[in-house]
Amino acid sequence: MPTIYDVAREAGVSAATVSRVLNGAQTVDPAMVARVLTAVRELGYRPNAVARNLRRSRTTLWAVIISDIGNPFFTAMVRGVEDVAQQEGYSVVLCNSDEDPAKEETYVAAALSEQMAGVIISSSGSVKAAKTLIDSPVPVVAVDRELPRGAVDTVVVDNEGGARTATEHLLAAGYRRIACIAGPEGVSTADLRLRGYTAALPGDPVIVRADFREQGGYDAMAALLSSPEPPDAVFVANNLMTVGALRCLTERGVDVPGQVGLVGFDEIPWADLVHPSPSTVTQPTYELGRMAARLLVDRIATPAAKPATIVLPAELHPRESSIPR
Amino acid sequence: MPTIYDVAREAGVSAATVSRVLNGAQTVDPAMVARVLTAVRELGYRPNAVARNLRRSRTTLWAVIISDIGNPFFTAMVRGVEDVAQQEGYSVVLCNSDEDPAKEETYVAAALSEQMAGVIISSSGSVKAAKTLIDSPVPVVAVDRELPRGAVDTVVVDNEGGARTATEHLLAAGYRRIACIAGPEGVSTADLRLRGYTAALPGDPVIVRADFREQGGYDAMAALLSSPEPPDAVFVANNLMTVGALRCLTERGVDVPGQVGLVGFDEIPWADLVHPSPSTVTQPTYELGRMAARLLVDRIATPAAKPATIVLPAELHPRESSIPR
DNA sequence: ATGAAAGCGCTAACAT
DNA sequence: ATGTTAGCGCTTTCAT
């Protein structure tokens, strides 16, 4: 691979001049510019970004650490981040922690070693990863899930409110024994949605903790159905678990919404094509990513500013799975 | 941020020794190792990967360029890549070209500038991006879609055979006017699936080209329905367009499979929960990613070897949407 | 407007 | 077994 010195020699100028031309400096003789560009083309020269990054002591990369690339919620959010990043001249490096705190820690370490310009993270709950980030000078934004004990810029939805609305909706529909399939303890969205459910419920809560995955939702639903007093409705704390719960109900021939009503948190792709179509609490997913990216841009510009928290609304979309009997 | 020299000073050794300790060299006195590690901990030292990459003239990053992050097919494939990458000591940088050749070219340029150790690409059809990659020294593997005019390692499924099977299945079910909603021209999967459809059809083909997106499938289906002689079945060339076509049929109250039969290429998440459930031609998606990663590892090890092409089987999964009348 | 020279932080060849 | 030194490719003063 040719270097900037090869180009300089070919064009009969110094490396400094080549650098100026390539970085759009105004103070270069047009004749030189032409010679340099010709040499660049002839040699097929491609600037070495690693060298540039070292010299400048900064990169134009953002690490976006999400907890499940198989969850359409996160991929939609990433699109929001990407659009802003591109517009602002950054590239997005997507890291999939797979709900595994150890992987999350590895990615955080890599982001810091690689001198990333910023990190957007939807924490899988690793306190160590959070601490590492907060103790580092890298600009950080938490999105969807709060960073454990972290006072950083944050964009979330009103998880507690959304869960309360979902539960109240089931109550209004006439259901009385409403259970909750909750997410993993220590993940902010899981804990807040559980709190919203509990707050809205007049009677005793029935809670099964699962892992935010489809199989977890399936198993939790199965456990609820085979309990002594099965629930007549269930509030499921995320989209993948909702699919799992629905599959379990369908397989066992349980009538939804006749025997059991259901509302899930998060949108499900093609929910309207599923039968019975699941009622959901939807979030402005793309907007969540966009806002996070905006906050990161601001944070990079003014590192000392006070951390902001933005809360976006969550909205109930009633569908077939919770229609009153 | 502390540098390796700060650590060396703190530990009373040379920078070379610190480097040796941190890179696991065997020839270091255990006492020194201890002193260095203590200094590292006390200073919170974190090696600068950018400097290391420059010095070593290589990185441990793979660029995985996919054409639609919103398509579960690609995210499943990425998981296969990720698992091998991690095992082999590489990190995956995910790039989403969004079916946009210009974005694809940008990402290819970035991958080369950043001195990535390898590239796995599912081409959105940019000949320029393909040429840039082939003319560069970077190891490349094409996955799912062949690289335009590129003689590189490739992992694909039997697209033509899968499409033929799907079409024959519709014929066997009694459908006679079978249309095809095809993908964009120049994308290998689109062209091969179309060829398989045409080959299996005894009569004249009815073809609508669309863009592999949900809305495109919807619009194509709408156009077919309002044509003078609407088809009695349709073969749809990918998953997102299948969802779009199905939505169009459902909205207009067309009975599937009674009035119109349907088979789609690619798996659809939760296909079994959709009503009517779509028959699909499924691919070993995760395996596709895994094989691509394996090929990349081999290519990095032996850059001069002859390019390999691996073809995996595609399998028909009949569901409700193509049950005989 | 252009060039010379220093240095970003690290690793590896070489010397001891 | 450890230290000294050069240099990866680039940008950015500082001189001219």
- Of A205-214, A285-294, B248-257, B316-325, minimum mean pLDDT range: B316-325
The encoded tokens of residue A291 equal: 């806002």
pLDDT at A325: 52
Q: How far is CA B182 from CA A308, A310, B198, B202, B211, in A?
A: 47, 43, 11, 18, 8
A58-67, A91-100, B115-124, B259-268: which range is least confident on average?
A: A91-100
Contact of B52 with A61, CB cutoff 8 Å: no
Find which of B104, B250, B270 to mutate to test the A interface (most A CBs within 10 Å of its CB).
B270
* Mean pLDDT, rounded, of chain B: 95
User: What is the mean predicted confidence (pLDDT) over A77-91?
Assistant: 94
Q: Any idea which of A212-216, A304-308, B22-26 has the lowest mean pLDDT?
A: B22-26
Please indicate whether, in this complex, the C-beta atoms of B273 and A274 are within 8 angstroms of each other: yes
- Asked if the C-beta of A44 comes within 8 angstroms of chain B's C-beta atoms, the answer is yes
C16 C1' – B22 CA distance, angstroms? 23
Mean pLDDT within A159-182: 97
For C7, which residue's CA is nearest its C1'? A55
Does B324 score more than 80 pLDDT? Answer: no
Nearest 10 degrees: Cα torsion A183, A185, A186, A188: 40
Q: How far is the CA of B17 from the C1' of D14 (A)?
A: 35
Cβ pair B131, B112 in contact under 8 A? no
Q: What is the DSSP string of A183-213?
A: --TT-HHHHHHHHHHHHH-SS--EEEE--SS
B46 HSE (CA, 13 A, CB side): 19
For the segment A181-196, what is each residue's pLDDT rounded down to a tens digit?
999 998 999 999 999 9
Flag whether residue A137 sits within 8 Å of chain B, measured between CB atoms.
yes
Residues of A in contact with B268 (CB under 8 A): 270
Nucleotide nearest to B5 (CA to C1'): C9
Q: Which nucleotide is nearest to A4 (CA to C1')?
A: D9
Q: pTM (2 decimals)?
A: 0.93
Calculate mean pLDDT across residues B11-38. 93
DSSP calls for A141-176: EEESSPPTT--SEEEEE-HHHHHHHHHHHHHHTT--
Q: What is the mean pLDDT of residues B156-162?
A: 98
> Could you give the CA distance from residue B219 to residue B244 in angstroms, rounded to a whole number?
8
- Residue range B103-156, pLDDT digits in tens: 999 999 999 999 999 999 999 989 999 999 999 999 999 999 999 887 899 999
pLDDT at A269: 87
B25 or B112, greater pLDDT: B112
In the predicted model, what is the mean pLDDT of chain A? 95
pLDDT of A25 reads: 85
Q: Each residue of A145-166: pLDDT tens digit?
A: 999 887 899 999 999 999 999 9
Chain B: closest CA distance from residue A136 (Å): 9
CA of B15 to C1' of C12 (A): 12
Q: Does A43 touch chain B if contact means CB atoms closer than 8 Å?
A: no
Å from A54 (CA) to C6 (C1')?
Answer: 14
Provide the pLDDT for residue B44: 94
Mean pLDDT score, B275-286: 96
- Residue range A293-301: average pLDDT? 96
Least CB-CB distance to B270: which of A70, A96, A274? A274
The reply to whether residue A49 touches residue B109, judged by beta carbons under 8 angstroms, is: no
Closest nucleotide C1' to the C-alpha of B7: C9
Residue A1 at interface with chain B, using a CB cutoff of 8 Å: yes
Would you say residue A324 has pLDDT above 80? Answer: no
Helices and strands counted in chain B (H then E): 12, 12
Q: What is the pLDDT of residue B325?
A: 52
Average of per-residue pLDDT across A255-278: 94
Range of lowest pLDDT (B39-53, B93-107, B195-209): B93-107
For chain A, where are the E strands, in sequence order?
61-66, 91-96, 118-121, 140-143, 153-157, 178-182, 206-209, 233-236, 261-265, 279-282, 309-312, 315-317
A60 in B contact zone (CB under 8 Å): no
